[in-house]
Amino acid sequence: MNGNETEKWRSIVRPVLTFVFSFAFIAGCVMGPINSNLLAYATLGMLVFWFGERAFAKFGTFIASHNQTTTTPAVPSEVVSLPSPPPAAPPPAAPVEAPPEPLDIEAFHSQVMADVEPMYHEVNPATIFYEAKDKGIVTRCDHISHAQDYWDYLVTLVYAAETYVKDVTETQTAAAGGCKGIVDPAYMKIQQDLQTTVRRRDHVYTLARSDIDWKAKLGNNATLWHVGVMAENLIRAAWEV
């Protein structure tokens, strides 16, 4: 029974009981002198009605509050959120390739100087240049920077060789009483070597700035000398693609 039903019944029963007990009390008062028991019963009934009605009202209030308590939906307990998974580990960094060791030009030149006399039977700037050229033909090139170092070194030698050959040929021509307008073949040869060496050195630097896989293209011919000799052809072939 909820609070509304309780009030409904109270509104019906209360007037009726009030009328009955009021009438009984009046009747008891009138008939009291004749029969004192009627007054006692009427008084007792009025007291029972008075306190009973209040007890009934409290009982209805209790029922209503009990129904409200039982019908109140339970508050859901706090939802415990699961801990978020740890962040994914970053991908491993790509290994950084260590810079190559530079070409040991001093050791290379020492080997050239040790072999130049047995090979050419004379030590001068021209024979040193040609021995350095011969040694570069058979020395493996592991990195393009090694070819750059080698061809820088070779350009230095060819300039010295050109100056040496010029002085020698001019002296020999003058001693032989030759004409100054005639150029000695040896001097023409060293001039051509100088121009070719400088041009190939420049091509090696251009190849170093490109992404051409020169090792794969040269294969077993990937030596210090052949990188410079073939650099121009490798660059031209890449441009034509």
Residue 173 above 60 pLDDT? Answer: yes
Cα–Cα nearest to 186, from 176, 196, 172, 200: 172
pLDDT digits (tens, 9 = 90+) for 13-56: 566 656 565 655 566 565 556 555 555 655 655 555 555 555 55
How many beta carbons lie within 10 A of that of residue 146, not counting itself? 21
> Residue 198's Cα: distance from chain center in Å?
44
List helix spans (H) across the chain: 3-31, 36-71, 105-120, 125-138, 144-175, 185-209, 214-218, 224-240
| Mean pLDDT of the 176-189 span | 74
Task: Write down the pLDDT at residue 111.
Answer: 97
Q: What letters, b where the CB count within 10 A reaches 16 and e where it falls short, cover 199-230?
A: ebbebbeebbeeebebeeebeeebbbbbbbbb
Task: Write down the pLDDT at residue 99.
Answer: 73
Task: Write down the pLDDT at residue 206.
Answer: 97
Choose the most confident range, by mean pLDDT, from 90-99, 124-133, 232-241. 124-133
Half-sphere exposure of 158 (CA within 13 A, CB side): 20
Task: Write down the pLDDT at residue 134.
Answer: 97
- At residue 39's C-alpha, the angle toward residues 33 and 44, to 5°, is 165
| Mean pLDDT of the 203-225 span | 95
Mean pLDDT of the chain: 79
Considering only CA atoms, give the Rg of the chain: 61
Task: Write down the pLDDT at residue 167.
Answer: 92
For residue 112, give both structure tokens: 């050239």
In the block, tokens 């998974």 appear at: 85
pLDDT digits (tens, 9 = 90+) for 100-138: 788 999 999 999 999 999 999 999 999 999 999 999 999
Residue 90 above 90 pLDDT? Answer: no
For residue 168, give both structure tokens: 């020698």
Residue 76 above 70 pLDDT? Answer: no
Residue 61 above 80 pLDDT? Answer: no
Decide which of 175 and 2 is more confident: 175
Residue 168 above 80 pLDDT? Answer: yes
Q: How confident is the model at residue 87 (pLDDT cuts 50, 70, 90)?
A: confident
Decide which of 131 and 81 is more confident: 131
Q: How confident is the model at residue 239 (pLDDT cuts 50, 70, 90)?
A: confident
How many beta carbons lie within 10 A of that of residue 54, not counting itself? 10
Choose the most confident range, by mean pLDDT, from 73-82, 167-176, 215-224. 215-224
How many beta carbons lie within 10 A of that of residue 6, not counting itself? 18
Residue 222 above 60 pLDDT? Answer: yes
